[in-house]
C-alpha cells in the first residue's frame, strides 16, 4: 500500500489530499480545498498575485487538516506530490516549494505532476481506471482537448480548441449575461429556468486551409460573438434579454458540440470507451447528454466524480500513485515550475537533470 500527500495550487484553488493505493483502487483518505473564487470574482477573473498570497496562507492549514482527518503523521507517508506545470508560476511555486520542503525534511520522494495528467487521473477516483485504449475529453478553464490513451499510457492529442477553452467560453459568456465568475456554475444555475431551443447558435467548426473541416477540433470565439449579437439585438428592440433562455441555449450548444465531436472521434478511431474530465465535466447537461448519446452508440462513458472535476489535490495524488505503480522514478528536488509544458512531455518531470 502506497500512501502520499498531494498538493494543488496551479490557479485559484489551494488544495491538499492524502490518497492511498489499495488492491481495490485509489482511496481518498482526506481532501480539502480552500477556494479563492469569491475574492477573484470582484475582479472578473483570477489575479495571479492575489492567488499566490492566498496559497501561502491556506496551504499549511490544509496540510495539517489532511493529516489530522486521515489520522496519519508525515512518517506514515511514502511520497509527497504537487502540481508543477502548467499554471500560474507564482501559484505553482507555493505548492511546489511546500511539497519539496516536506519531502526533504522527511526523507520522502517528491513527484512533480502535470496538471492535465492529474485531471486525466481524476477518472480513477470514482471507479477502476478505464482500460486503454480509450478517448479522453478534457474540458477545463484552460483546455479543450481530445486525447487518445493507448497501452502503457501513451497519449496522442487528436483534437483541440483553436481559441477559447470551453470553460473560458462559459466564463466570458457569463460576464456578458451579468453573472459572476466562475461562469460555468452560474450559467448552469440560470439555464435551469430557460428554454434551450430559443436561440440558434453556431457550432464553431474549424476550417482546413485546403477546404473541409478538422473533425475533432473546436472553436468557441464565434459562439461568444453570436451571444453578444443576440443580447444587442434584444436591447435594440428595447426588450430585456431573456437571460435564462440565452444561458440554456448557450449551455446546450456547447454540450452538443463537445458530445458530437467526441463520439465521432470514438467512432472513427474504433474506440468503445470515453472518459470525460476537467471543470466543465461538472456540467449537469453535458454529463447527461454524454452518458445518453454514448449509450446509444455503444460507447461506455466514464465521467470523473463531480467532487473531482474542478481543481483538487486528490487527482494530483491519483496521478502520482499511477506513476509510482509504473515506475519508482521520482522528480529531482531541483525541479522548478513552468507556466506551459506539453502533456506529451510529462515524463520529463521525473528526469534527471530536470527540464526546468
Q: Which of 151-159, 177-185, 208-216, 320-328 is the region at the interface with ligand KG4 (rule: CB under 6 A)?
A: 177-185
Taking CB under 6 A as the binding criterion, the range among 14-22, 182-190, 227-235, 345-353 that sits at the site for ligand KG4 is 182-190
Which CB atom, from 41 or from 234, has the smaller least distance to ligand KG4? 41
Task: Give the DSSP letter of residue 51.
Answer: H
Using CA atoms, how far residue 96 sits from 123, 197, 228, 291, in Å, is 24, 46, 40, 36
Residues 296-315 binding ligand KG4 (CB under 6 A) are 310-311
What gap in Å lies between CA 121 and CA 95, rounded to an integer?
A: 19
Using CB under 6 A as the binding rule, whether residue 283 contacts ligand KG4 is answered as yes
Q: Which three cell numbers stand for residue 245?
A: 433562455
Are 122 and 277 contacting, i.e. CB atoms less than 8 angstroms apart? Answer: yes
Distance between CA atoms of 304 and 307, rounded to whole angstroms?
8
With contacts defined by CB under 6 A, name the span among 38-46, 138-146, 235-243, 334-342 that binds ligand KG4. 138-146
Q: Is residue 182 near ligand KG4 by the rule CB under 6 A?
A: yes
Residue 170: contacted member of Zn ion, ligand KG4, none (CB under 5 to 8 Å, by partner type): ligand KG4
Quick one: 46 or 253, whose CB is closer to Zn ion? 46
Q: In this complex, which beta carbon is closest to ligand KG4, that of residue 32 or of residue 142?
A: 142
* Residue 170 interacting with ligand KG4 (CB under 6 A): yes
Beta bridge partners of 3: 20
Beta strand 25-35 with 79-85 is unpaired
The residue (of 182 and 204) whose beta carbon lies closer to Zn ion is 182
Q: How many CB atoms lie within 10 A of CB 353?
A: 8
User: Binding string to ligand KG4 for residues 139 to 158, with x set by CB under 6 A, is what?
Assistant: -xxx----------------
Query: What is the radius of gyration, based on Cα positions, of the chain?
Result: 21
Read off the DSSP letter of residue 111: E
Using CB under 6 A, list all residues that contact ligand KG4: 11, 140-142, 167-168, 170-171, 182-185, 188, 278-280, 282-283, 310-311
Amino acid at each position: 500500500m502506497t500512501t502520499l500527500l498531494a498538493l494543488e495550487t496551479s490557479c485559484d484553488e489551494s488544495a491538499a489530499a492524502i490518497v492511498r493505493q489499495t488492491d481495490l483502487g485509489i482511496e481518498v483518505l482526506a481532501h480539502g480545498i480552500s477556494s479563492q473564487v469569491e475574492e477573484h470574482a470582484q475582479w472578473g477573473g483570477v489575479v495571479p498575485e492575489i492567488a499566490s498570497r492566498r496559497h501561502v496562507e491556506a496551504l499549511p492549514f490544509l496540510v495539517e487538516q489532511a493529516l489530522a482527518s486521515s489520522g496519519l503523521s508525515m512518517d506514515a507517508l511514502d511520497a509527497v506530490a504537487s502540481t508543477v506545470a502548467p499554471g500560474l508560476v507564482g501559484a505553482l511555486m507555493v505548492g511546489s516549494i511546500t511539497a519539496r520542503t516536506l519531502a526533504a525534511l522527511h526523507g520522502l520522494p517528491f513527484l512533480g505532476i502535470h496538471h492535465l495528467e492529474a485531471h486525466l487521473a481524476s477518472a480513477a477516483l470514482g471507479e477502476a481506471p478505464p482500460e486503454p485504449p480509450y478517448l479522453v475529453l478534457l474540458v477545463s478553464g484552460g483546455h479543450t482537448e481530445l486525447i487518445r490513451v493507448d497501452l502503457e499510457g501513451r497519449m496522442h492529442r487528436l483534437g483541440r480548441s483553436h481559441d477559447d477553452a470551453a470553460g473560458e467560453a462559459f466564463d466570458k459568456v457569463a460576464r456578458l449575461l451579468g453573472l459572476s465568475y466562475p461562469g460555468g456554475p452560474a450559467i448552469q444555475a440560470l439555464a435551469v429556468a430557460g428554454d434551450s431551443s430559443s436561440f440558434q447558435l453556431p457550432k464553431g467548426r474549424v476550417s482546413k486551409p485546403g477546404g473541409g473541416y478538422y473533425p475533432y477540433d473546436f472553436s468557441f470565439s464565434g459562439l461568444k460573438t453570436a451571444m453578444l449579437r443576440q443580447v444587442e439585438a434584444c436591447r435594440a428592440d428595447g426588450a430585456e434579454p431573456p437571460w435564462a433562455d440565452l444561458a440554456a441555449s448557450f449551455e446546450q450548444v456547447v454540450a452538443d458540440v463537445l458530445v458530437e465531436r467526441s463520439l465521432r472521434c470514438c467512432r472513427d478511431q474504433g474506440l468503445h470507451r470515453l472518459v470525460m474530465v476537467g471543470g466543465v465535466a461538472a456540467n449537469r447537461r453535458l454529463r447527461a447528454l454524454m452518458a445518453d448519446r454514448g449509450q446509444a452508440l455503444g460507447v461506455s462513458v466514464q465521467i470523473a466524480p463531480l467532487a473531482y472535476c474542478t481543481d483538487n489535490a486528490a487527482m494530483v495524488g491519483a496521478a502520482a500513485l499511477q506513476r509510482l505503480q509504473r515506475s519508482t522514478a521520482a522528480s529531482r528536488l531541483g525541479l522548478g515550475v513552468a507556466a506551459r509544458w506539453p502533456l506529451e512531455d510529462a515524463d520529463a518531470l521525473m528526469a534527471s537533470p530536470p527540464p526546468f
